[in-house]
């Protein structure tokens, strides 16, 4: 995946560092409308203690912050709060309004912090973590995890009548559902949004992934077989099992990288999410989505690992080619030094003999003396002689 951040804005005046430009303003307006729509669409996967176990707004949030950089975090948070007020998600007054504002601000803040931390940890390191697919995968895990972990600290300062979370099993279920829903939303929705963003910036259709026919057929056979096995297990009374999809996704990701991995994730989502939106009890839905999240996570990390390995091999091959060229240049230099040495020895002898000839023929006549002097000058490399020849 691409890592684009507006680094030039950080070199401007302090107030301009966080002030959005016209492009960002239009993006925030579009973001607020899209966020409200996706938030509404996530309701069928809700339950007691969690809003939704499949939360596509998290993917939208992640894609915008990943492409624009954490500098947009305050404005993204403001856009989400405005959208929640406009749709009635946050009450305009009452004790729950303060909790609603806090809950709406927390995800954007924690996502921005998680991305900044992941990029800071990976900066300047020679490991595979510094490669783009691995950074994206780590951030996709860190952002939902930090969002869930920071629920209690964010609400610790709220008054008791504001409806704070209570410590106990219900909180663990709620926070687990929050992390699972965000993770699924990120890994399903963020990759295509980032690809479209990259295409819009570069206007280069070659930047889009173009898998070959053979990998597509292989992946289709593997995923179809595992989905058929899932259907067979369900008909046998074992329920919707995600283990076959996990195995298929891991195989596809390791074989063909994260592009193929995302299509495997999309296949899993299209199979399981419509089923989980039906009349399932909260416990069954949460258990199923935990399995889906595991399959999706393994699939994406396998694809990221495959791409990171490919990038590392490409970099290693390039370095080996450069080393080979450097070794050839070193050998050529050594040969040149040897040739120069071999040529300079007889030339030095010739120069000595020419000088001697000039000295012994000094009184033998003008023609002989002049010829001997000319030979001496040429053999000794006299600058005046070189200028005369040029």
Residues 138 and 297: beta-carbon distance below 8 Å: no
The Cα–Cα gap between 230 and 253 comes to: 19
Residues 272 and 382 in one domain: no
pLDDT for the residue numbered 2:
40
The answer to whether residues 215 and 256 touch, using CB atoms and an 8 Å cutoff, is yes
**Predicted local confidence at residue 37, as pLDDT:** 94
Residue 130 pLDDT: 62
User: How many structural domains compose the chain?
Assistant: 3
| Per-residue pLDDT at 204 | 58
User: Do 242 and 256 have their domain in common?
Assistant: yes
Helices (H), the chain: 22-41, 56-68, 73-87, 95-122, 132-149, 151-155, 169-202, 213-233, 243-276, 282-360, 366-380, 383-389
- Write out the residue range of the structural domain in which residue 293 sits: 210-339
Give the Cα separation of 63 and 76 in Å (integer): 12
In eight-state DSSP terms, residue 128 is G
- Residue 117 in tokens: 């931390």
Of 187, 208, 229, at which residue does a domain stop? Answer: 208
One domain for residues 220 and 73: no
- The sign of the dihedral angle between the CA atoms of 278, 231, 190, 180 is positive
Q: Which of 181, 208, 235 is at the close of a domain?
A: 208
Computed from CA positions of residues 107, 200, 297, 291, in that sequence, does the dihedral angle turn out positive or negative? positive
Whole-angstrom distance, CA of residue 147 vs CA of residue 149: 6
Shared domain check, 105 and 215:
no
* Res 145: pLDDT: 92
Of 37, 32, 40, 115, give the one whose Cα is nearest residue 81.
32
Look at residues 10, 116, 30 and name the one whose alpha carbon lies nearest to residue 70. 116
Give the pair of three-digit tokens for residue 66.
């990943």
One domain, residues 378 and 302 = no
What pTM does this model have? 0.73
What is the Cα–Cα distance from 361 to 353, expressed in whole angstroms? 12
Which pair of tokens denotes residue 289? Answer: 């989505």
**Per-residue pLDDT tens digits of the chain, which is 390 residues long:** 444 333 333 333 343 445 566 777 888 899 999 999 999 999 899 887 788 899 999 999 999 999 888 888 999 999 999 998 888 888 777 667 788 888 889 999 999 999 888 888 777 655 556 666 778 888 899 999 999 988 888 877 777 666 555 545 577 888 888 999 999 999 999 998 988 887 777 765 565 566 677 878 888 888 888 888 888 888 888 888 888 888 999 999 998 888 889 999 998 899 899 988 888 888 888 889 999 999 998 998 888 888 888 877 888 888 888 888 888 888 888 888 777 766 666 666 666 766 766 676 666 666 666 666 666 666 666 555 444 444
Same domain, residue pair 318 and 350: no
Same domain for 169 and 236 = no
């Amino acid at each position: 995946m691409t890592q684009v951040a507006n680094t030039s804005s950080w070199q401007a005046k302090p107030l301009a560092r966080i002030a959005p430009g016209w492009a960002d303003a239009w993006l925030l307006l579009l973001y607020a409308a899209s966020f409200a729509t996706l938030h509404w669409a996530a309701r069928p996967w809700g339950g007691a203690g969690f809003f939704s176990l499949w939360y596509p707004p998290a993917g939208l949030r992640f894609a915008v912050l990943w492409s624009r950089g954490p500098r947009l975090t305050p404005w993204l948070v403001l856009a989400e709060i405005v959208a929640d007020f406009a749709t009635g998600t946050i009450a305009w007054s009452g004790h729950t309004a303060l909790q609603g504002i806090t809950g709406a601000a927390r995800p954007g803040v924690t996502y921005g912090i998680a991305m900044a931390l992941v990029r800071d940890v990976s900066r300047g390191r020679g490991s595979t973590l510094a490669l783009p697919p691995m950074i994206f995968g780590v951030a996709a895990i860190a952002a939902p995890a930090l969002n869930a972990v920071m629920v209690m600290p964010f609400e610790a300062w709220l008054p008791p009548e504001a409806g704070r979370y209570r410590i106990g099993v219900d909180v663990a279920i709620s926070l687990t559902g929050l992390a699972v829903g965000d993770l699924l939303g990120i890994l399903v929705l963020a990759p295509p949004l980032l690809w479209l963003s990259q295409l819009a910036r570069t206007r280069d259709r070659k930047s889009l992934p173009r898998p070959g026919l053979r990998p597509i057929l292989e992946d289709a056979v593997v995923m179809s077989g595992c989905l058929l096995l899932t259907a067979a297990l369900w008909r046998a009374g074992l329920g919707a099992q995600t283990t076959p999809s996990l195995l298929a996704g891991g195989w596809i990701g390791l074989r063909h990288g994260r592009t193929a991995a995302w299509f495997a994730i999309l296949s899993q989502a299209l199979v399981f999410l419509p089923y989980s939106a039906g009349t399932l009890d909260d416990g069954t839905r949460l258990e199923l989505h935990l399995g889906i999240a595991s399959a999706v996570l393994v699939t994406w990390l396998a694809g990221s690992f495959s791409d990171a390995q490919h990038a590392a091999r490409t970099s290693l091959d390039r370095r080996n080619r450069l080393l080979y060229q450097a070794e050839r240049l070193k050998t050529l230099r050594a040969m040149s030094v040897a040739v120069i040495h071999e040529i300079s020895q007889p030339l030095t002898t010739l120069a000595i003999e020419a000088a001697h000839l000039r000295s012994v023929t000094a009184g033998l006549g003008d023609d002989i003396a002049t010829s001997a002097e000319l030979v001496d000058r040429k053999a000794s490399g006299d600058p005046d002689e070189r200028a005369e020849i040029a």
